[in-house]
Amino acid sequence: MDRRHLTRYAWLSATAAVLTIALKALAYYLTDSVGLLSDALESLVNLAGALMALAMLTVAARPADEDHAFGHTKAEYFSSVLEGMLILLAAASIAVAAVHRLLAPRPLEQIGLGLGVSVLASGVNLAVAIVLLRAGKRYGSISLEGNARHLLTDVWTSAGVLAGVGAVALTGWLSLDPIVALVVAANIVRTGVAIMQRSVSGLMDVALPDVEQRSIRGVLQGHLADGVQFHAFRTRQSGSRRFVSIHVLVPGAWTVQQGHEILEQIEGEIRAVVPNTTVTTHLEPLEDPCSWEDLSLDREKPLPGERPARG
């Protein structure tokens, strides 16, 4: 699949970030609210994340070459890691500004106009987040999905800030504004940590989700009646690409052609239930003891038709 077209979504995100930065900065200028300032700072992170996503999506779209035989799809994880780090930096900046305002409260100005501008910025973020989330799930892009979830968090953050500024207008309690900003900072930290955890898992070649592994096991289960057995089942995910490796054991009396045909069938069925998957199979004779010497590669949950490990 040619994934170069995914960069247009990153351009959309970057454009939206520039627009929302301008709108939220205007809202801060009008109101002098540290809560709205925190909102504007988070949009700066959105812009940095979008630009990094653009760069990494461009790299990830490159075809496999001599130095990268498995492609460049892992590049998307780097953008997510950086975005998570920038989110934590923004949270720290927001917390510092909020503490300073707690110690030296200041009255807010032109609250109605400032809130209106901020609502407009949140609407832009919400619309773009929905587009990116759908594209991320459709094309299996962690960069787009991470960017979308960050934007959705930004929308909820803005809602909290608006509530805080509105509460100040109604109650006159100026400390509500920096308190809300601190809550926003804590929420941003949670989002940043979650994004980084998921990205690091991808870089560590985490196995496929259970639902996809069950689909693959279902395919293998369907071939037990053919006298076929399996072991050394391993999976990993790299960006949008999945990788499955498995040893297929068949009766030794089978011809090479028969073995080849069953492997082609199994690989095709796995790709049908888990799209965008590279399947690597290894053919072994059932009767040869050497075929069972690599059982240490097995996982805790045995495959259908798998023999128990020999002590």
Q: Are residues 92 and 165 in the same domain?
A: yes
Last residue of a domain, one of 148, 171, 203: 203
Q: Is residue 309 part of a domain?
A: no
% residues pLDDT > 90 (the chain): 18
Q: Residue 27 in contact with residue 131, Cβ under 8 Å?
A: no
Q: Give pLDDT tens digits for 81-134.
A: 777 787 787 777 777 777 877 777 766 666 666 677 778 888 888 999 899 888
| The two structure tokens encoding residue 73 | 């799809």
**172 and 25 housed in the same domain:** yes
CATH code assigned at 290: 3.30.70.1350
Of the candidates 142, 176, 203, which is a domain's last residue?
203
pLDDT score, position 284: 92
Residue 126 falls within a domain, yes or no?
Answer: yes
Residues 6+ apart with CB under 8 A from 156: 187
Q: Of 174, 203, 232, which residue sits at a domain end?
A: 203
Give the pLDDT confidence of 245-278 residue by residue, as tens digits.
999 999 999 999 999 999 999 999 999 999 888 8
Alpha-carbon torsion, ordered 111, 114, 119, 125, to 10 deg? -140
Same domain, 79 and 123: yes
Q: Is residue 308 part of a domain?
A: no
Is residue 311 a part of any domain in this protein?
A: no
Residues 234 and 275 in one domain: yes
> Which domain CATH number covers 20?
1.20.1510.10
**Does 35 share its domain with 172?**
yes
| DSSP-assigned states of every residue in 127-144 | HHHHHHHHHHHHHT-HHH
- Over residues 271-301, the pLDDT tens digits come to 999 988 889 999 999 888 887 776 555 444 5
Q: Are residues 170 and 188 in the same domain?
A: yes
Q: What angle do CA 293, 295, 297 make, to 5 degrees?
A: 125
Query: What span, in angstroms and rounded, lies between the C-alpha atoms of 198 and 80?
Result: 8
- Which tokens hold the place of 69? 């035989």
Helix intervals (H) in the chain: 7-31, 34-60, 75-103, 111-139, 142-171, 176-203, 210-221, 256-273
Distance CA 111, CA 117 (A): 10
Q: Which two tokens stand for residue 296?
A: 């240490």
Q: Are residues 250 and 180 in the same domain?
A: no
Q: Please give the Cα distance from 199 to 52 (Å, whole number).
A: 14
- Give the per-residue pLDDT at 311: 39
- Flag whether 182 is in a domain: yes
285 domain residue, yes or no: yes
pLDDT at residue 226, rounded to an integer:
82
Residue 102 · residue 179 · CB < 8 Å: yes
Domain membership of residue 224 (yes or no) is yes
**pLDDT digits 0-9 by tens, 145-203:** 777 877 777 777 777 667 777 777 777 777 777 787 788 778 778 877 877 777 777 77
∠ CA 92-165-44, rounded to 5°: 40
65 and 163 both lie in a single domain: yes
When the pLDDT of each residue in the chain is averaged and rounded to a whole number, the result is 79
Does residue 309 carry a pLDDT above 50? no
User: To which H or E segment does residue 1 belong?
Assistant: none
Verify that 155 and 22 share a domain, yes or no: yes
In a domain, 248, yes or no: yes
- In the chain, the number of structural domains is 2
Assess whether 187 and 87 both reside in one domain: yes
Same domain? For 160 and 239 the reply is no
Q: Are 151 and 71 in contact (CB under 8 A)?
A: no
pLDDT score for 111? 63
**Residue 111, token pair as written in the block:** 């609250």
- What φ, ψ does residue 281 adopt, rounded to 5°? -120, 150
In whole angstroms, give the CA distance from residue 243 to residue 157.
37
For residues 178 and 229, the model is more confident at: 229
What is the value of pTM for the model shown? Answer: 0.58
Whether residue 93 sits in one domain with residue 18? yes
Residue 136's domain comprises 4-203
